[in-house]
Amino acid sequence: EADPRFTGRAIKNITDAVKVRAMDFELPDEWMEEPDLFLFKTYDDKLGMIREMTQPISVEMVIQEINRYADSEFR
């Protein structure tokens, strides 16, 4: 059963938070200092390099973000 407190906006905020956690990494400085390592590569190569650094989105991660949102929103 759907909880009416979780509006489209709430779901978007939770989804955005999960995506931010999955992409929580720093690009190596070397990639910018030596353009051949990243900047001059093809789009597909760059995408692959970034995907290697991305954390997989897990059920636990989604549940944690739902709980965080609920804790802050429904007090």
CA dihedral 38, 44, 48, 50 (to 10 degrees): 50
Question: So what's the pLDDT on residue 75?
Answer: 66
pLDDT in tens, the chain (75 residues): 777 877 889 899 999 999 999 999 999 999 999 999 999 999 999 999 999 999 999 999 999 999 999 888 766
55 lies in some domain: yes
For the chain, the farthest-separated pair of C-alpha atoms sits apart, in whole angstroms, at 53
Q: Based on the structure, what is the number of domains in the chain? A: 1
Q: How distant is the alpha carbon of residue 30 from its chain centre? A: 23
3 lies in some domain: no
2 lies in some domain: no
Instruction: Give pTM, 2 decimals.
Output: 0.75
40 lies in some domain: yes
1 lies in some domain: no
Domain that holds residue 27: 8-73
